[in-house]
Amino acid sequence: MIEVNGVGVVSGDVTLLAPVSVTAQRGEALIVCGRNGTGKSTLLRVLAGVRKPSTGTARIGGEAVVERDRGFRRRVAAMIGLPPMAPDLTVLDHVTLVATTWLDDPGAAAPLARGVLAGLGLEALDERFPHELSSGQTQLFGLALVLARPFEVLILDEPEQRLDPEHLKSVSRVLRARRDGGATLVVATHSPVLEDELADRTLRLDAAA
Amino acid sequence: MSGRSRGAVGIWRARNARTPRDRAYLVYAVLMVGLVAIVPVARAVWLSATSEAGVAVFASPAAPGVAALVVAALWAGALLLGRDRGPAVLPPFLTHALATSDLPRSDPFLAPVLRAGALVIAVTTIASVLVGGSLLSHGLTDSLGVALFIAVGALVGVIATVAWLAGQAFPRTAIPVALGVLALGAVTAAVPLMQPFTPWGWVGLSYPGNGSPHVLAVLTALTAALTTAVPTLLNRLDLAGLSAQAARWESATTHAAGMDFGAAATVYQGRPHIGRRIRAIRPAGQLPLTFLIRDAIGATRTPGRLIVGVLAITSAGVLIALAFAPVTPGWLLGAAAGLLVFAGLGPLTDGIRHAASVTSDFPLYGISDERLLANHALFPLVTVAVVLLVAVILCSIIAGIGVAEPIVSSLTIGLLALIARVSNALKGSLPTALLTPIPTPMGDLSAAARITWALDAVLLAALAGTVGTLAFESPILLIGVTAALIGVGINRWRDRG
């Protein structure tokens, strides 16, 4: 599903990502580990199509990564930083709206949204506005927005940020379920919990750099 | 200010100590701005105030009542302003350091209140000088009456400063009190018999021509009583409120310094707290309808913003209708209407701004960026059209003006202002090319270019208002401005993300 061949990123004289090669199959989770500054987020940005590699190629589903391509957008979901949030919508409104735009049956959006929120332990917060959430709840909310849409590949940058151990377990459980359902996950993380519970393959960028 | 406070503030100020050369440049810059920008404007204002038309306004029988209403509105506005940005604001770190110490808050936070108060008093005093001077220049009052009114003007500024601080110290109480002041101010303006019984009415009673020294004495006593409450008000300020206001002000000024006025305004944008149980997303069957309902319900969650927005668009409709009256300056009313529609669309276009931010991020919605933006444009488009039509038709009928031309003009201006809003939402950050100096014989024009870039949507909206009202006389101007607006918008759409 994912093929990365010698992908490296250089900005001026600075190497943001030393050339790396890795693959991940359908239904596998690729965990990307490494010290700060070794290029984890940069690799994720290349896979999400918002950063062009200086060297090498990246392909998803056998096709080149092109962010403007509708098929690619449908296939790949990404959360690298928090997604934009509308200040005038509640948590449930947000997630339902995202689901509504993807589903043919509008009536199915609200139950799907409630399911996603329940999976992440956010069901009690569904009537809150974004500015009423704590930083950890906002992180979970961002994940809920991404999980409310269909995808074949899910790219996440440090989803463990600001989460307590209990919610981290919830996230791990939800991501495992998505992986077992056939999605390919690419997760950059510093969390040993996520690595232990998710990893089918691990790419350590310390070594690569 | 105690020695401890003075020491802390001194350390803070020393971090950016200016060299004599920097100070000299600052003096030069202030002088130049004063000579080039402020003096001509001040002269124009003075000439306008002392013109026949200006004096006719100031000498009208309704002027004292209007003065009372303006003062009531000023004090009510000061109360409301204090809730979001009071006069007792210091930089965030200094706020934290001083507010978490055992110093009484009246000690370190009095200085910023005095600075802010000086500014307010200067403004109200200048306003009273303008009114009094205008009447004196035409022999409609005597020097004593003007001096009395100027003194009252200064006292109005002092009371406004105390009201501003009171709004900061009592943010919840400030709303009903401000509304009460505003309502009583309107009653006082409408019923002159009420003037002796309200503080703003006393200002009306001191109006040049019929001013009484007794009013000055009463207002002075009231001002003195209110100023004794300042230390108490300062000591009521809590750490959370002080820190929040300090952080917001710093964020807003940082954005404004970077010419990002939209982001600066967003810092003070009201946040929703009501309507959370009303589902904004309903299975409507068609996505455009879903988005229309979503944006409508979203807007009602900040009702104050929505009301202000609708009132601004309504006022614009009135101006557009009046622009077609025989003796009014149509182009000027059109420009004001364009600005009002643009401002009024602000609370109605949260969805458009959200769509603009989504289109420059990772795919989230299952529809194209174009459809997302078009769907979010429906609510402001429908609202602005309906509100403008109602206002224009009613005003035209009341004023006895033909309805057809104002209707076409208002719909054109509404549409162009919406395009300006979309373009503004897609603007992004300041292009680095604009940071390059533009040397000319008159000096570096890069600052003017940056200001034009920052305010382009506002300027184009005003221009759209003018050409919208002149559409039947000079359609070519309308076509030109429309093309410019669409061109800028398309360019930004292509460059998004």
Q: From the candidates B359, B362, B379, which should be mutated to test the interface with A, based on the most A CB atoms within 10 A?
A: B362
Which pLDDT score is estimated for A208? 45
Residues 279-298 of B with CB under 8 A from A: 279-281, 283-285, 287, 290, 294, 298
B494 touches chain A (CB under 8 A): no
**Domain's final residue, options B179, B211, B241:** B241
Top mean pLDDT of B335-349, B353-367, B426-440 is at B335-349
- Kindly state whether residues B343 and B197 are assigned to the same domain: no
Does some domain include residue B303? Answer: yes
Residues 151-180 of A with CB under 8 A from B: none
Does some domain include residue B300? Answer: yes
- Kindly state whether residues B316 and B236 are assigned to the same domain: no
Mean pLDDT of A49-58: 93
Which pLDDT score is estimated for A209? 43
Three-class secondary structure of residue B89 per DSSP: coil
| Residue B352 predicted with pLDDT over 80 | yes
Within 8 A of A107 by CB-CB distance, chain B residues are: 283
By C-alpha distance, the chain A residue nearest B284 is A106
User: In the 8-state DSSP scheme, what is residue B34?
Assistant: I
- Kindly state whether residues B201 and B332 are assigned to the same domain: no
Does some domain include residue B278? Answer: no
CB B359 within 8 A of CB B374: no
Task: For B105-152, write each residue's pLDDT tens digit.
Answer: 998 999 999 999 999 999 999 999 999 999 998 888 889 999 999 999
From the list B269, B283, B362, the residue facing A80 with the nearest CB is B362
- Kindly state whether residues B137 and B220 are assigned to the same domain: yes
pLDDT band at residue B497 under the 50/70/90 scheme = low
Q: Do A100 and B283 touch (CB under 8 A)?
A: yes
Task: For B154-163, write each residue's pLDDT tens digit.
Answer: 999 999 999 9
pLDDT band at residue B316 under the 50/70/90 scheme = very high
From the list A93, A98, A106, the residue facing B280 with the nearest CB is A93
Three-class secondary structure of residue A204 per DSSP: strand
Reading the block at residue A198, the tokens are 């998710």
**Domain's final residue, options B174, B209, B241:** B241
What percent of chain B lies above the pLDDT cut of 90? 64
- Kindly state whether residues B167 and B32 are assigned to the same domain: yes
- Kindly state whether residues B406 and B295 are assigned to the same domain: yes
Which pLDDT score is estimated for A90? 95
Which is it for the CA torsion A63, A68, A73, A77, positive or negative? Answer: positive
Beta bridge partners of A153: A76, A184
Q: Do B367 and A70 touch (CB under 8 A)?
A: no
Within 8 A of B354 by CB-CB distance, chain A residues are: 84-86
Task: Select from B411, B372, B404 the least CA-distant residue to B389.
Answer: B411
- Kindly state whether residues B55 and B114 are assigned to the same domain: yes
Which pLDDT score is estimated for B308? 93
B109-113, B210-214, B416-420: range with lowest mean pLDDT: B210-214
Q: Do A98 and B269 touch (CB under 8 A)?
A: no
Instruction: Report the C-alpha gap between B137 and B492 in whole angstroms.
Output: 52
Indicate the number of domains in chain B.
2
Does some domain include residue B195? Answer: yes
Ramachandran area for residue B428 (φ above 0: left; ψ -120 to 50: alpha; else beta): left
- Kindly state whether residues B237 and B291 are assigned to the same domain: no
- Mode of pairing for the β-strands spanning A63-64 and A55-60: antiparallel
Mean pLDDT of A146-174: 95
- The string of DSSP codes covering B21-42 is HHHHHHHHHHHHHIIIIIHHHH
Does some domain include residue B31? Answer: yes
Task: For B263-308, write each residue's pLDDT tens digit.
Answer: 888 888 888 989 999 999 987 778 999 999 999 999 999 998 999 9
Q: From the candidates A100, A103, A152, which should be mutated to test the interface with B, based on the most B CB atoms within 10 A?
A: A100
Which pLDDT score is estimated for B13? 78
pLDDT band at residue A194 under the 50/70/90 scheme = very high
Residue whose tokens read 């009303």: B278
- Kindly state whether residues B310 and B167 are assigned to the same domain: no
A200-204, B34-38, B66-70: range with lowest mean pLDDT: B34-38
Instruction: Report the C-alpha gap between A17 and A203 in whole angstroms.
Output: 13
Which pLDDT score is estimated for B250? 94
Does some domain include residue B356? Answer: yes
**Domain's final residue, options B177, B207, B241:** B241
- Kindly state whether residues B47 and B190 are assigned to the same domain: yes
Task: Select from B458, B418, B419 the least CA-distant residue to B335.
Answer: B458
Does some domain include residue B274? Answer: no
From the list B272, B283, B298, the residue facing A109 with the nearest CB is B283
Does some domain include residue B360? Answer: yes
A77 touches chain B (CB under 8 A): yes
Q: How far away is chain A from the Cα of B447, in angstroms, using its nearest Cα?
A: 30
From the list B290, B350, B368, the residue facing A87 with the nearest CB is B350
Domains, chain A, ordered by start: 2-208 (3.40.50.300)
Mean of the per-residue pLDDT values of chain B: 91
A52 touches chain B (CB under 8 A): no
- Kindly state whether residues B237 and B295 are assigned to the same domain: no
- Kindly state whether residues B188 and B95 are assigned to the same domain: yes
Task: For A31-48, write each residue's pLDDT tens digit.
Answer: 999 999 999 999 999 999
Task: Select from A90, A88, A93, A83 the least CA-distant residue to B346.
Answer: A88
| Residue A5 predicted with pLDDT over 80 | yes
Interface contacts A/B by beta carbons within 8 Å: 100
Task: For B185-195, write each residue's pLDDT tens digit.
Answer: 999 988 888 88
Task: For B41-71, write each residue's pLDDT tens digit.
Answer: 889 889 888 888 788 888 888 899 999 999 9
Which pLDDT score is estimated for B212? 77
Within 8 A of A97 by CB-CB distance, chain B residues are: 280-281, 290, 294, 365
Domain of B134, in residue numbers:
3-241
Q: How far away is chain A from the Cα of B363, in angstroms, using its nearest Cα?
A: 6
